[in-house]
Amino acid sequence: MKSLDYHYWMKQALAEAEKALPLDVPVGAIVVDGAGNCIGRGFNTRERDQNPLGHAELNALLEASNALGSWRLSECTLFVTLEPCPMCASAMVQARMKQVVFGSHDADFGGCGGWVSVHQKPNPAFTVIGGILEAECNQLLADFFKNLRLKR
């Protein structure tokens, strides 16, 4: 059983993010239950599957819900390499997540404080901690977008 070692779990999320390459923006997510066990993993699959809902967070939430046999993830923490968008943050509110820990901040599209704070309306729905292994998460994204520009 692993405790909530933020760096350990963010490294696991970074490993998931690598699976999105080369097609999708490299974002990875891990859901850890209250006992410290990984119960869900996900990476971006929008391009691969041509599915607008193919976000790493949603893929990980689905796997976690299947593992628990419940949509209620109230004792769970989500680790994700990029601040969740408003759609994903709303899904986390609906899933009753306990905590979200992310790497890169997203001022343009972030739903956990970057652009909007979905989790704060009307009352704080879950705790948010940002900036864990931020340099590593930022570098993975920067490399992806640099390579994408070179291909155009």
Q: Which member of 57, 63, 75, 134 is catalytic?
A: 57
38-43 vs 28-32, strand pairing mode: antiparallel
Q: Which two tokens stand for residue 10?
A: 């963010």
Non-local CB neighbours of 45 within 8 Å, separated by 6+ positions: 20, 24, 51, 54, 59
Concerning whether 47 is annotated as a catalytic residue, the answer is: no
Burial of 151 (0-12, 13-18, 19+ CB in 10 A): exposed
Contact 104, 82 (CB under 8 A): yes
Q: What is the C-alpha to C-alpha distance for residues 1 and 27, in angstroms, rounded to an integer?
A: 25
The catalytic site residues sit at 57
